[in-house]
């Protein structure tokens, strides 16, 4: 496989790197300390990403997005992975499900999202249904001219600041998974939307984990994305791209960790030598380097499979997400150990990276769920 990038992708990489270094990194400490991105600052960052042509980079050009292929999206993700997850989100990786909006949803819903005037988040997880989407209880029932949603969601990112949510609800409980769900656009100020709480969590400070309920939440027919009972197929299509995007983020994150580790290894001395001159430390860094190279290749291979519409892209996406997430967390643990007490302190970003990396193994399909997919494919 040839992963030589054309000049325009190299320019794109430099643009994202500049945005991260100049606009995002200087805010890392403040966001971490206050566990929020100031709304005005968030707005300005999104406006800057629009100006740079980054916002909505992952959506097709036909609907107003950047029209990048998957490999180019991974290049963007790698650069974004070098800063914190909440800050990286201001660059405008939007839910891949938006690709399936109908033309009549463009003006009122999609266009303001693509211009960063409005925000959208995706809500599937429930207190009793995470990996097991079949256990989902949120129901949507047909009424004259629309639908009524009842149920609730949890662990949904930033439902406290969003304008819209894409809600996955059961519309045909008797059907198999393939025909059971429908995707609904719900405005956050719908009177049937009830925000319950921000759930305290370990990392990803600046991004909030939210729980809410839907009580007789009325929506019009025009708020359905895709077909009635056609939600599962769209979720599955979109999830491959999201997992590969995340793989790219984790690769950039691990590169950042390795950079910190290299710098520290030449600065810090123990027993009269630089850490970098101790064989034990060299082995640690060599292991991270190899796993990182393997993650990189898996993520590129998965992106290439999507771009060439290969039938094995789903498994390629699972391999990439699983391996890159595990590598990032292992690397964070090893680098923290290498930094000693300094790594555990808040003087360096390593403790933050350790906490942040822990979530990589859980969100958008846990590592176990990726491994189940991969194993099932082996026995197919």
Ligand X SMILES: Cc1cc2nc3c(=O)[nH]c(=O)nc-3n(C[C@H](O)[C@H](O)[C@H](O)COP(=O)(O)OP(=O)(O)OC[C@H]3O[C@@H](n4cnc5c(N)ncnc54)[C@H](O)[C@@H]3O)c2cc1C
Stretch that binds ligand X, among 47-55, 122-130, 172-180, 186-194 (CB under 6 A): 122-130
| Three-class secondary structure of residue 105 per DSSP | helix
If 0-12 CB within 10 Å is exposed, 13-18 middle and 19+ buried, where does residue 355 land? middle
> Maximum Cα–Cα distance for the chain, whole Å?
79
Encoded one letter per residue, x for contact with ligand X by CB under 6 A and - for no contact, window 356-375 reads ---x--xxx-x-xx--x---
Judged by CB, which is closer to ligand X: 123, or 328? Answer: 123
Q: Cβ 231 to ligand X, closest distance in Å?
A: 13
Q: Rule CB under 6 A: is residue 67 a binding residue for ligand X?
A: no
Pairing type for strands 164-170 and 193-199 reads unpaired
Q: Rule CB under 6 A: is residue 60 a binding residue for ligand X?
A: no
Sequence-distant (6+) residues with CB within 8 A of 242 are 95, 96, 364
Closest CA to 56 of 6, 110, 122, 100: 110
Candidate list 123, 251, 306, 338; residue touching ligand X; CB under 6 A: 123
- State residue 325 phi and psi, 5-degree precision: -70, -45
Closest CA to 378 of 312, 298, 327: 312
> How far is Cα 289 from Cα 49, in angstroms, rounded to an integer?
31
Encoded one letter per residue, x for contact with ligand X by CB under 6 A and - for no contact, window 142-171 reads -------------xxx--------------
Determine the distance from the C-alpha atom of residue 146 to the mean position of all C-alpha atoms in its chain, rounded to a whole number.
31
Judged by CB, which is closer to ligand X: 175, or 375? Answer: 375
Stretch that binds ligand X, among 52-60, 127-135, 230-238, 347-355 (CB under 6 A): 127-135
The one catalytic residue in 126, 256, 364, 368 is 364
| Bridge partner residues of 152 (DSSP) | 213
Residues 277-336 that bind ligand X (CB under 6 A): none
Encoded one letter per residue, x for contact with ligand X by CB under 6 A and - for no contact, window 174-213 reads ------------------------------x---------
DSSP one-letter code for 363: T
Judge whether 291 counts as a catalytic residue: no
Stretch that binds ligand X, among 71-79, 220-228, 319-327, 355-363 (CB under 6 A): 355-363
Q: Kindly list the catalytic residues.
A: 364
| Chain positions contacting ligand X, by CB under 6 A | 121-125, 130-132, 155-157, 204, 359, 362-364, 366, 368-369, 372
């Amino acid at each position: 496989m040839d992963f030589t990038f054309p000049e325009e992708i190299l320019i794109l990489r430099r643009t994202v790197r500049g945005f991260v270094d100049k606009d995002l990194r200087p805010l890392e400490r403040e966001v971490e300390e206050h566990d929020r991105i100031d709304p005005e600052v968030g707005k300005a960052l999104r406006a800057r990403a629009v100006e740079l042509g980054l916002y909505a980079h992952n959506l097709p050009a036909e609907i107003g997005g950047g029209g990048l292929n998957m490999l180019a999206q991974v290049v963007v993700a790698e650069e974004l992975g070098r800063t914190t997850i909440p800050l990286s989100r201001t660059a405008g990786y939007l839910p891949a499900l938006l690709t399936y909006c109908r033309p009549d949803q463009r003006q009122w819903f999609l266009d303001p999202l693509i211009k960063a005037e409005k925000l959208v988040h995706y809500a599937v997880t429930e207190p009793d249904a995470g990996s097991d989407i079949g256990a989902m209880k949120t129901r949507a029932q047909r009424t004259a001219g629309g639908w009524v949603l009842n149920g609730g969601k949890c662990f949904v990112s930033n439902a406290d600041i969003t304008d819209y949510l894409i809600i996955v609800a059961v519309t045909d409980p008797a059907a198999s998974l393939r025909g059971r769900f429908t995707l609904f656009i719900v405005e956050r100020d719908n009177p049937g939307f009830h925000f319950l709480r921000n759930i305290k969590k370990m990392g990803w400070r600046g991004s909030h984990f939210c729980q809410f309920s839907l009580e007789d939440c009325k929506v019009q027919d025009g708020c359905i994305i895709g077909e009635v009972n056609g939600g599962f197929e769209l979720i599955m299509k979109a999830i491959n791209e999201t997992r590969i995007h995340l793989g790219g983020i984790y690769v950039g994150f691990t590169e950042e960790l390795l950079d910190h580790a290299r710098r520290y290894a030449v600065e810090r001395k123990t027993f009269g030598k630089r850490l970098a001159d101790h064989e034990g430390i060299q082995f640690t860094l060599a292991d991270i380097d190899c796993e990182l190279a393997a993650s990189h290749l898996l993520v590129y291979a998965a992106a290439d499979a999507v771009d060439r519409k290969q039938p094995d892209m789903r498994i390629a996406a699972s391999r990439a997400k699983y391996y890159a997430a595990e590598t990032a967390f292992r690397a964070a643990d090893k680098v923290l150990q290498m930094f000693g007490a300094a790594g555990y302190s808040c003087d360096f970003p390593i403790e933050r990276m350790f906490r942040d990396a822990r979530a990589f193994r859980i969100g958008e399909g846990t590592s176990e769920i990726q491994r189940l997919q991969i194993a099932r494919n082996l026995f197919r």
